[in-house]
A and B are shown apart, each in its own frame.
Chain A
Amino acid sequence: MNLTLHAALLILTVTFAGLCHADLNSKATSAERAKKLIDDMEALYRGDISKALITMQVVTPQYQRSMEMVSMNQGRDNAFIRILSPKKDRGIATLKLDQEMWNYFPKINKVIKVPPSMMMGSWMGSDFTNDDLVKQTTLTEEYDLALVETVDHYTITLTPQSQTVTVWGKIDYVIDKTNLVPVSQRFYDDNNVMVRHLEFSELRDYSGRLLPSRLEMIPLNKPGHKTLVIYESLNFEPIDVNDSDFTLRNLQSRF
């Protein structure tokens, strides 16, 4: 989920940078440009608030599930997600504050802190992990960046530094040059074998911002599995989101 947020923010930064006529084609080295790209994004990220209505579809060889949820983000540290449908799961909510995560289950009216043993497990049965949601995105500090430019795309390759704690050997971000929107993210193991990839498609206009509405996460080592995330709506200046939404109490509040 973090990657989705991440993607959204990358899109955001790029778009904002575009709006500010930032000169991405300067004569700085490609590493510096890549860092700027991501830094701009992170600069934009701070203090930002957004609210989105999302449909998530999980497909496995054994079942298919579709969920609707509302997702709120504050900066890069705080996130609140509440499931609206199906009826059985309505009201299940997740709160992330920095590195910690809690889940709320309305049926039993309990708030459960996600223990370390569950962090690497999947979030809500999808192909995203709890860890994905929680991981801090200090990309420029923890990863080495390299930018490759082609006619249509920017590809930023992120390689974790020796001390970085991650299961990925390499991550590729592919950005469409024309629209300055992400096209895909690819996750590799240490031997350059792609393990999973996230595809962005179907550009939509969200109050003037052009962003991909459809994100598809496909793990390559589990045939028949995929998770599809669709942004039904995305609001960068939500008026009904404030600090009190990112508290444990809010997990249990009526909505």
Chain B
Amino acid sequence: MLIIKLALRNLFRNTRRTLLTVLLIGCSLSALILTDAVLLGMVDVMIESLTKTLSGEAQVHRQGFTDNYDVDLYMPESASIESQLENDPSVAAYASRVISGGMISSSYNVGAGIIYGVDADQERHLSKLAAAITLGHYLEDANDILIGEPMAELLEIKLGDRVVITQAEANTGELSQALFRVAGIFKFGVRELDSNIVFINISQARKILGIKQGSHEIAILFHDVSSADLDPTGLLSSLTDDTTEALGWRALNKDIAAMLEMTNYSSLIVGAILFFLASLGVINSMFMSIYERIYEFGVAKAIGTRPFDLFQLIMVEALFLALLSCILGMSVGAILGEWYATNGIPLGEMEISGIAMNNNIPTVLASHQFTNFPVYVILLTLTAALYPARFAANIIPTDALHRSL
């Protein structure tokens, strides 16, 4: 009890110094919280961009389909796979696609592109297609087609204009053409998607390609994105056999997954360095406070205070310092974190591994930032205080008493 009273009183004897030290440690904590929040935000944005724009968190294909996107490699049994997905509790949404390349012609021009035949309803719950439409409307009538802004510009077409798709049928390679009307124009913001892909109804796509049933790809969204990695219901492994494979987004995008692993380490490294540097300042600060009171300590020891008591006193001072700093650090971190969570941090235009990050990145505040990090701070401050505390404990009373100004 006495120790606590003493410690508090000592701290506030020199308020300016205490404040500056609290500022030092507190800012370090805030910096760490915010850096971590930004990195988490970036990772989230990237994963979401990767999975929720179009690809999904997992995909089911014929083995070998992703090598060359051969139109002949489709899954005729996709309907049964879909019902399996329907009954799986971890799956939030799924969408079948019929995919192949072809030429897209308007009255004015012709361009090459990839034609995605999608089930309008399934697609709405899985990808951002419906939300990406800037003009017109989503797929409604059988002959609707959705075209990206750059391609609409190339083909010199507007809403309602006619468009002819020319493709080679699956298995036979025979010429096949069909007429569509531009129902909507979209912009995902990802250059590859907007310039090269058009969307039509899956029934029409099957018709043009001469596929009676089946699809090239089934994309999956889970209730929890970690299901793509953990496969809690054994879904992905049960769907994989000799002809079919079911892969999570990490397996489909190996290089991005690797990079995201690396960003976890960056956070740790930055934090460690930051705290090491901050601790030097803490040690300095503690020493200064001890020097000021060296006469006091000398007297205290002279009248019989044990070294350990002095050690304890310094440590308790350090503890309070740490606690105050944590309060400051967490508050600043929370306020800035919240503000940037809504407004995002502007980093400019970046594209990493084909994922465009053109908007501000919202910071993500997580519980570990407010439970683990403060604990590190307290531990670190206490560690930094060990050296000064030991010094205080070992003061020789006579030397100390001599050292009067």
Q: How many A-B residue pairs have CB under 8 A?
A: 66
Bound CA–CA A116/B112 (angstroms): 11
Task: Tell me whether A66 is interfacial, beta carbon within 8 Å.
Answer: no
Interface residues of B, Cβ cutoff 8 Å to A = 101-103, 105-110, 112, 156, 158, 160-164, 166-168, 173, 175-179
Provide a sorted-by-A list of 28 A–B residue pairs whose CB atoms are within 8 angstroms. A99-B175, A100-B175, A115-B168, A116-B167, A116-B173, A116-B175, A117-B112, A117-B166, A119-B166, A119-B177, A120-B164, A131-B105, A165-B164, A166-B162, A167-B162, A188-B107, A189-B107, A189-B108, A189-B161, A190-B107, A190-B160, A190-B161, A190-B162, A191-B158, A195-B107, A195-B108, A221-B109, A221-B156
Interface secondary structure of A, over-half rule: loop
Cβ 8 A contact of B177, one of A165, A189, A190, A221: A165
In this complex, what residue of B is CB-closest to A113? B173
Cα distance A167–B162 when bound, in Å? Answer: 6
Residues of B within 8 Å of A189, CB to CB, are 106-108, 161-162
Q: Are B176 and A116 in contact (CB under 8 A)?
A: yes
Task: Kindly state the interface size class of chain A when it binds its partner.
Answer: 20 to 34
B175 to A, closest residue via Cβ: A116
Q: A120 touching B107 by the CB < 8 A rule?
A: no
Q: Which A residues are closer than 8 A to B by beta carbons?
A: 99-100, 115-117, 119-121, 131, 163-169, 187-191, 195, 221
- Return chain B residues, CB-CB under 8 Å to A221: 108-109, 156
Closest-CB distance, A2 to chain B (whole angstroms)? 15
| A117 adjacent to B102 (CB under 8 Å) | yes
A47 to B177, CA, bound (A): 27
- By a CB distance below 8 angstroms, the chain B residues around A166 are 162, 164, 179
Q: Which residues in B have their C-beta under 8 angstroms from that of A100?
A: 175
Which residue of A is nearest B109, CB measured? A221
Measured CB to CB, the nearest residue on chain A to B101 is A117
Q: A163-B179, A169-B162 are in contact. Are A187 and B107 (CB under 8 A)?
A: yes
Give A169 to B182 CA distance when docked, in angstroms: 13
Are B103 and A117 interface neighbours, CB within 8 A?
yes
A167 touches B107 (CB 8 A): yes
Nearest residue, chain B, Cβ from A115: B168
Which of B105, B158, B168 makes the CB contact (< 8 A) with A120?
Answer: B105
Query: Residues of B contacting A120 with CB < 8 Å?
Result: 103, 105, 110, 164, 166
CB distance from A191 to the nearest CB of B (A): 7
Bound CA–CA A163/B166 (angstroms): 15
Q: Can you add 20 more A-B contacts, CB < 8 Å, to A189-B162, A195-B107?
A: A100-B175, A115-B168, A116-B166, A116-B173, A116-B176, A117-B103, A119-B166, A119-B177, A120-B103, A120-B105, A166-B164, A167-B106, A168-B107, A169-B107, A189-B108, A189-B161, A190-B160, A190-B161, A191-B158, A221-B109
A168 to B168, CA, bound (A): 22
Complex partner residue of B161 from A116, A119, A121, A191, CB under 8 angstroms = A191
Would you give the shortest CB distance from B155 to chain A, in whole angstroms?
10
The complex places the Cα of A221 from the Cα of B167 at a distance, in Å, of: 25
How far, in whole Å, are A208 and B101 apart by their CA atoms in the complex?
50
Contacts of B176 in A (CB 8 A): 116
- Min CB distance A101 to B, Å, is 9
